[in-house]
Amino acid sequence: MQEETTMVTGYCVKCKEKGVELSAPEIHQTAKGGFMAKGKHSVCGTTVCAMMSKDNADKAMEDGAKKAF
Ligand SMILES: [Zn+2]
């Protein structure tokens, strides 16, 4: 069986780095019905937000991201 982990990534404003991995991501829904992941950069601890599609939000939650809406 293939093991697939959906990594939640975003832009860290402190490190000015794209695609950083979020630790303990939480999935939020925006007022416009979009989805957003919120977590901490695993390296520096800064809160990182990332917009995501519903598909990716569902996948992330299946992989253990916390549903926060
Ligand atoms: Zn960072």
The pLDDT value recorded for residue 42 is 87
- pLDDT, average across residues 46-64: 94
Q: Does the reported pTM lie above 0.75? A: yes
pLDDT tier at 10, thresholds 50, 70, 90: very high
Instruction: Report the separation in Å between the CA atom of 25 and the middle of ligand 1, taken as the mean of its atom positions.
Output: 14
Rg (CA), the chain: 12
Give the residue from 35, 41, 33, 23 showing the smallest Cα distance to 59: 35
Instruction: Report the separation in Å between the CA atom of 16 and the middle of ligand 1, taken as the mean of its atom positions.
Output: 7
Instruction: Report the separation in Å between the CA atom of 64 and the middle of ligand 1, taken as the mean of its atom positions.
Output: 22
The pLDDT value recorded for residue 5 is 64
pLDDT by residue (tens digit) across 15-45? 999 999 999 999 999 999 999 999 999 899 9
pLDDT at 1 over 90: no
Q: How far is CA 48 from CA 14, 15, 22, 38, 66, in A?
A: 9, 11, 7, 6, 15
The DSSP bridge pattern shows strands 35-41 and 17-29 to be antiparallel
Instruction: Report the separation in Å between the CA atom of 19 and the middle of ligand 1, taken as the mean of its atom positions.
Output: 10
Identity of the residue numbered 31: A
Terminal-residue alpha carbon distance, the chain: 31
